[in-house]
Structure 1
């Protein structure tokens, strides 16, 4: 009897510990994703307050996005080399301190610098949160449920950014959009120190591939900058071509360094021998090229075509969040124990494509129910169906010592896919005028293109190996 009670107490303690781990890393993930968009609505107030020069305001957004994209691979590998909890704490500290500095900034330069450091902290946190989850939960239904929660929190953060930013800016100040991270970050630090078990790399401890880190970070940063240039200057502009070409060449150099010269590579190329990782990252690239830019075009559609205010726009996004979370965190784990994961990904992508096709039917006279809510329900169900099994697939069959590298690759793929998708879609769907009819045609063209890319995502998903969760 005593042994049975002891075993039961131990199991309860273990489950409580993993639940706390999930809560802490999801809070960090929420902050990371939230800060990609939370300042968007506050930009006019920031410009009035700090007096940005023409063209400078974009760097409030780009400084975060560029450092985030550039340091993701390095951030992912650091956890494998120095211990995931230690690196997680470093990322939390950097992100929280930069949020405080940005919220208190008294000049444009200080705010942009703080946003860049925030992006660096985010690049450490995003892959490390996922690596901690994959190390804490063995493959199977429990990991699937944890990944579903992590994915749902990311969706909530992305959607909530515009709403939270609008409410905080309207009722408090633009500074609160950054300062809100400080108490959350400090609470996460305390919980991490007190409750997350320290981990140590198994000996012999590998060294950081410094040359690979420099080349990969430079390549991703320059590529991301070139993509942002394309959105404003066009794909044929000299600065765009130069940056993208340089970024691609640096990334090719990085692959050569990793394959031929690195004794402890930043990204072990052996992980791409796993078909789930290789095909899954291609599918993730295409999905990111659709699901990230859609918020941009939906925001413009609601404000420029339907005349919604920033707060109304944020509220109008709530069904997208609720449906995607309900499907992603609720139904997806249940489905993954009964349906082949690649079928779920392909089916979800096709359903999302149908939703984006419906979204492209919007007119200036559309009601909220027909023009926004109905498409939202359809494509949010589809995205909720595909996100969890795709994340699980990309991280399946990975050795614990490579978990950080694999999650860094996945986050980089998603981020680069979103940046490429937005730049390509903005160029493809460029409006022929500034009147409402021209803008509406432009946005609808973008949604037709997103639907087509989602169909391509479904086709790539069929190249994944068969996978179904075993019952616990």
Structure 2
């Protein structure tokens, strides 16, 4: 268990870096003399490169060693943080944020793979995965508050300077505690498959972020179409590869496929619901940024509680059923937001319930997805994290589009309410799909009876 602490700390640092920047964005742009429109590339470039490189990073870990690739990612994280801390212009800041996203892509899936290698299958691994999810939630909760406080007290550059000692400490800790993992001895790396997958994911994430902005909606739609076209070409490219980036055994593994479904549904539903809740609190309720952050704090706190609870639940219930139950709780919490007109306390209560649900479901989804043969666990870690990133990007984009298109219409339920309803229905649908028995299993069961 010694390795679990620094590996979870990697997750904490990466998530914290994202939320810290969101809170400090207005001050950053004002200090660099940048227009408000620059906020989109500063935020989006991290998500684009992070999501696009996750699977490739996991495969690099399989080939060259996960501890080595993780160390490179942490070193890159420190170097990119230094560049951001001294950035003289918004262009340099955007480039540094992109490098941070790439470094995080190298770090997160390799850290998750090492986490599964450091723990035995069973209760120990479930506790480790619960700690992994809880540290991410804790970082999300503290980042929004710390970002604003530290920026007010010492300036936004301190947010990046603080990453340097953290990166050094984590590299040392990982090198000392990381367990050995087998290296893949395959043929040449599937560069063609990597290029197509990176292009597809990058286009989808970038397109989704632009789709939210009415001025760039056409460009966003074009990127989404291009990304989906690239994704449709990937199977043909992979069939020709001697050592495909996505092994056929991984693509067809039922546990990984269910884990991908749950991971994508978790982030698509909760990220979109919380984003709409933020806009509602700052718009309809007139709350400031700090008050909004405090009103939404129960979400992250309950994610930690749900993650801790999941390890106990999965002692007697399967991971698939736990993930479905978590998504059902997410649906209930999101549906409760339809009563937001009664006051901000309803929003806090609704997101708290959703937080409990994603805490349950995220640990179960990771357990499902990583319950694969050892040689596939690196790939599984990359695929699961990619699914979560795509879920966030597409979920937020689609739900915000529903909200904005329906505003001012004569629909019985419009605006934020319709967005929350869409997210709740998506969570319920995903829960139902997880519980559905595969056709072959059902036929076999009937035959046996």
Q: Output the TM-score relative to the length of structure 2.
A: 0.91
Q: Could you say which residue in structure 1 is the equivalent of 2:52?
A: 70
Say whether the 8 Å CA contact 2:137–2:301 is kept in structure 1.
Answer: no
Structure number with higher helix proportion: 2
Which sections of structure 2, spanning at least 5 residues, go unmatched?
Answer: 442-449
Are 1:296 and 2:275 matched, yes or no? yes
Q: Deviations over 1:114-133 (max 9, x none)?
A: 00000001111111111111
The gaps in structure 1 that reach 5 residues or longer are 1-18, 467-472
Q: How many angstroms does 1:103 deviate by?
A: 1.6
Q: Indicate if the aligned counterparts of 2:141 and 2:301 stay in contact, CA closer than 8 A.
A: no
Residues 168 and 403 from structure 1, CA distance in 2 versus in 1: closer, same or farther, beyond 3 angstroms? same
d(CA) in 2 for partners of 1:145 and 1:206?
Answer: 36
Q: Is the 8 A contact 2:298 2:349 kept in 1?
A: no
Q: Please tell me whether residue 267 in structure 1 is matched to residue 267 in structure 2.
A: no
CA contact (8 A) 1:79 1:87 kept: yes
Query: What SS class does the counterpart of residue 56 from structure 1 fall into?
Result: helix
- Are 2:410 and 1:425 aligned? no
Which residue in the other structure is 1:105 paired with? 87
Q: Equivalent residue for 1:319?
A: 298
Structure 1 residues 377 and 464 mapped into 2: Cα distance closer, same or farther (>3 Å)?
Answer: farther
Relative distance call for 1:299 and 1:271 in structure 2 (3 A) is same
Decide whether aligned partners of structure 1 residues 52 and 353 sit closer, same or farther in structure 2, where only a CA change above 3 A counts: same
Aligned counterpart, 2:445: none
**Equivalent of 2:237 in 252, 257, 265:** 257
What CA distance in whole angstroms lies between the structure 1 residues aligned with 2:303 and 2:206?
31
Question: Helix, strand or coil for the counterpart of 1:361?
Answer: helix
Quote the residue 1:277 is aligned against.
256
Please list the CA deviations of residues 138-168 of structure 1 after superposition, one character each: whole Å capped at 9, or x if unmatched. 3211111111110111222223322221222
Q: Look up the match of 1:217.
A: 198
Partner of 2:310: 332
1:347-376 deviation per Cα after TM superposition (whole angstroms, max 9, x unaligned): 22112211111112111x6153xx233223
User: 1:253 Cα deviation (Å)?
Assistant: 2.2
Residues 180-231 of structure 1 show CA distances to partners (whole Å, capped at 9, x for unaligned) of 22222111011122332454515x3543212211221122112222222211
2:424 maps to 1:444: no
Matches within 5 A, 1:47-126: 47-53=29-35, 55-126=37-108
**Residues of 2 paired with 1:451 and 1:103: CA distance?**
40
Cα 1:246–1:234, aligned 2, differ >3 Å: closer, same or farther? same
2:352 is aligned with 1:377: yes
Rate the CA distance shift 1:198–1:387 in 2: closer, same or farther, 3 A: closer
Task: Give me the CA root mean square deviation.
Answer: 2.3
Task: Flag the 1:274–1:284 CA change in 2: closer, same or farther, 3 A.
Answer: same
Is residue 2:171 matched to residue 1:189? yes
